[in-house]
Amino acid sequence: MQILKNEAGDIAVAVEELKKGNVVAIPTETVYGLAANALDPEAVSKIFKAKGRPSDNPLIVHIADASDMEKFAIPNEIAYKLAEKFWPGPLTMILPKRDCIPTAVTAGLDTVAIRMPEHPVAREIISQSGLPLAAPSANISGKPSPTSAQHVIDDFRENPYVAAIIDGGKCKCGVESTVLSLCNGTPCLLRPGFVTADMLRTVIPNLKIAEAVLKELPNSEKALSPGLKHKHYAPKARTVCIKGLCENALKYVKLDGNIKKTVICFNGEEAVFAGCNVIPYGKSDDFEELAENLFDALRQADALDCEKIYVRIPEIDEKSVNGVLLAVYNRLLRAASFTVIDCDSAAKGLVIGVTGQSGAGKGTLCKILENKGFFHIDTDKVWHDMIDECAPKLEAVFGKVTDKNGRVDRKILGEKAFSSEENLKKLNEIAHKSIMAKVSEIMDENRSKGIFNFAVDGAALFEAGAKANCDFIIAVTADWNSRLDRVKKRDGIDDKRAEARFSGQKSEEFYIQNADFTIINDDIGSLEAKIEAVLAENCKLK
């Protein structure tokens, strides 16, 4: 890939490549685009190959002169008005297409997306080439969009399908153009950007905003814009959006396990999150600044190789939903797979760990908590459900442990893991880390739906490091005979097997010493009353 500096003669080089049917990355005021001659299906196919883009996701055709719109599309009256008002600029209009536009560009649709960019380099390249340019954002499909030449170079340095990039500096908007459909009846905003809903309503008072802008589409629902259904902008590490007071956000981040964390925060919050990697991305009330920096921040976070990314996100209300904040929300929601945590509510919730020996009554205690509105997470079940996902990690340590369907064979894994103390330690390391990451994910999914109280149950919570995820941990104890009876009945095993199981477990003292509270599960007093006493005690402590 040639890296052109935008010096004398560089635009001519880029234009030559485009004329030859090659792909060139160009700056625009929104994000960098991966451009090719829109009238040449062969050239367009290189864009899809370079990005690894699904072929059902159509491209935007970029023009240098508003009058070119009618060469490639069939505009209506609104389209002319909008072009007059917002072009050149970050507005893309979907219109019925003309036959000259190949189906490779529109992914077989009978409509075409048209935009006239404002960036002087983009305009110069389009007009000097005399070609309409098909150009998606210049990122590998699914990764955050590129807002600087370096981002493009990071993604495509070795890519054989990209001939050149021309460096036009940092992009002014930082998020892609507004996409507006002018087909199928009422004009509909498909992707929010710097031309906001408020601005569009000055021309289109009855503008609709597509539901998918802020909501996850059910798989069955056919997407209006194919791009809305693809996973977008996602960093490698699991990402969540966090809103609420800074102190509550900190509380939530802190109580999320011993993992490598990156917080993308508002300016001025850096010191608060000092224990984590911190990337400020703008003032909390300057939505244009947040938009400008958000993709760069996501890319920086990715480069830090952390285990989880937390993004501070402003509150959105009836007024701000019609402005640039909608674009920020739309991109961040996708980066976070629609997980948004209200940290003010999370701060009022409780995460209780429940641990103890087999048969002590962890499950019974969790049932009672469940009846009090706690969401029960059984870590044994979590491991059981996720073990196949962990196959690569397990096989890296133990060699082949999967069957012909790629599923973990527990018997083989057991034989290998229990063959030595060292192996067992290795298995526990993988299991504990994976389980706690999944527990955090399950809690986030639920918090995102408004559930904030959790009971996390498991015999190995202390070894798994769950103290770092729980407000407090309760140990449940019961005498040997009651435990024996319970385990025999529950699991249908005899004395010998039950006793063998007990012998491999930690002592009662271990649990009592490590726990914040101990509940004795015996006949004296009801279990429910004992739990209520612990909850009351904790409320006093809080």
**508 near ligand TXA, rule: CB under 6 A:** no
Q: Which is nearer to ligand TXA, 129 or 177 (CB)?
A: 177
Only segment of 17-25, 53-61, 196-204, 299-307 that touches ligand TXA (CB under 6 A): 53-61
Sheet holding 238-243, edge to edge: 277-280, 261-265, 308-312, 238-243, 340-342
User: Residues, the chain, total?
Assistant: 542
User: Residue 92 binds which entry of Mg ion, ligand TXA, none, with Cβ cut-offs from 5 to 8 Å by kind?
Assistant: ligand TXA
Q: Smallest distance, Å, CB 82 to ligand TXA?
A: 15
For the bound state, the minimum distance from the C-beta of residue 54 to ligand TXA, rounded and expressed in Å, comes to 10
Considering only residues 190 through 219, tell me which ones interact with Mg ion, judged by CB under 5 A.
none
129 binds, among ligand TXA, Mg ion, none (CB under 5 to 8 A by kind): none
Site for Mg ion in 105-144 (CB under 5 A): 137
Instruction: Provide the CB-side half-sphere exposure for 332 (13 A, CA).
Output: 32
> Which range, of 52-60, 242-250, 253-261, 464-472, touches ligand TXA by CB under 6 A?
52-60
Q: Closest CB to ligand TXA among 117 and 359?
A: 117
Q: Give which of Mg ion, ligand TXA, none residue 248 binds (C-beta under 5 to 8 Å, depending on kind).
A: none
Please give the residue whose beta carbon sits closest to ligand TXA in the complex: 227
**Min separation Cβ 53 and ligand TXA, Å:** 8
Out of 73, 75, 82, 92, which residue is the one contacting ligand TXA (CB under 6 A)?
A: 92
How many Å apart are CA 475 and CA 517, to the nearest integer?
6
**Residue 285 class from Cβ within 10 Å (0-12 exposed, 13-18 middle, 19+ buried)?**
exposed
Is 226 a binding residue for ligand TXA by CB under 6 A? The answer is yes
Interface with ligand TXA (CB under 6 A), residue total 28
Opening angle at CA 91, ends 85 and 95, nearest 5: 95
Q: Are 311 and 295 in contact (CB under 8 A)?
A: no
Among the listed ranges 176-184, 313-321, 325-333, 429-437, the one in contact with ligand TXA (CB under 6 A) is 176-184
456 binds, among ligand TXA, Mg ion, none (CB under 5 to 8 A by kind): none
Q: Going by C-beta distance under 8 Å and a sequence separation of 6 or more, which residues neighbour residue 210?
A: 188, 189, 190, 224, 225, 228
Under rule CB under 6 A, which residues in 130-169 are in contact with ligand TXA? 135-137
Residue 225 lies near ligand TXA (rule: CB under 6 A): yes
| 192 binds ligand TXA per the rule CB under 6 A | no
Contacts of 250 (CB under 8 A, 6+ apart): 272, 273
Can you state the angle between helices 495-503 and 480-491, rounded to 10 degrees?
120
Nearest Cα neighbor of 184 from 295, 94, 310, 244 is 94
The rounded distance, in Å, linking the Cα atoms of 417 and 405 is 21
Q: Which residues on adjacent β-strands are paired with residue 518?
A: 475
Binding partner selected for residue 387 from Mg ion, ligand TXA, none, CB under the kind-specific 5 to 8 Å limit? none
**Measured between alpha carbons, how far is 378 from 458 in angstroms, rounded to an integer?**
6
Q: Is 225 one of the binding residues for Mg ion (CB under 5 A)?
A: no
Q: Does 94 bind ligand TXA (CB under 6 A)?
A: yes
Out of 1, 10, 14, 28, point to the residue binding ligand TXA (CB under 6 A): 28
Q: Which tokens in the block code for residue 129?
A: 């080439």
H and E: helices and strands count for the chain: 22, 21
Closest CA to 203 of 80, 96, 92, 319: 80
Instruction: For residue 33, state whether it binds ligand TXA (rule: CB under 6 A).
Output: yes
Binding range to ligand TXA, per CB under 6 A, among 110-118, 151-159, 363-371, 412-420? 110-118
33, interface contact from Mg ion, ligand TXA, none, CB < 5-8 Å by kind: ligand TXA
User: CA-to-CA distance for 60 and 112, rounded, in angstroms?
Assistant: 7
CB nearer Mg ion, residue 139 or residue 196: 139
CA angle in degrees (0–180, nearest 5) for 48-157-171: 80
121 contributes a contact to ligand TXA by CB under 6 A: no
Establish if 177 lies at the interface with Mg ion (CB under 5 A): no
Other C-beta atoms lying within 10 Å of the C-beta of residue 186: 10
User: Measured between alpha carbons, how far is 76 from 403 in angstroms, rounded to an integer?
Assistant: 60
Nearer to Mg ion, 137 or 440 (CB): 137
144 binds, among ligand TXA, Mg ion, none (CB under 5 to 8 A by kind): none
414 vs 294, 401, 438, CA distance in Å?
A: 45, 9, 22
Nearer to ligand TXA, 115 or 530 (CB): 115
Q: Which of residues 306-335 bind ligand TXA (CB under 6 A)?
A: none
Secondary structure (3-state) at 539: helix
Binding site for ligand TXA (CB under 6 A): 28, 30-31, 33, 57-60, 90, 92, 94, 106, 109, 111-113, 115, 117, 135-137, 176-177, 179, 191, 225-227
Binding site for Mg ion (CB under 5 A): 137
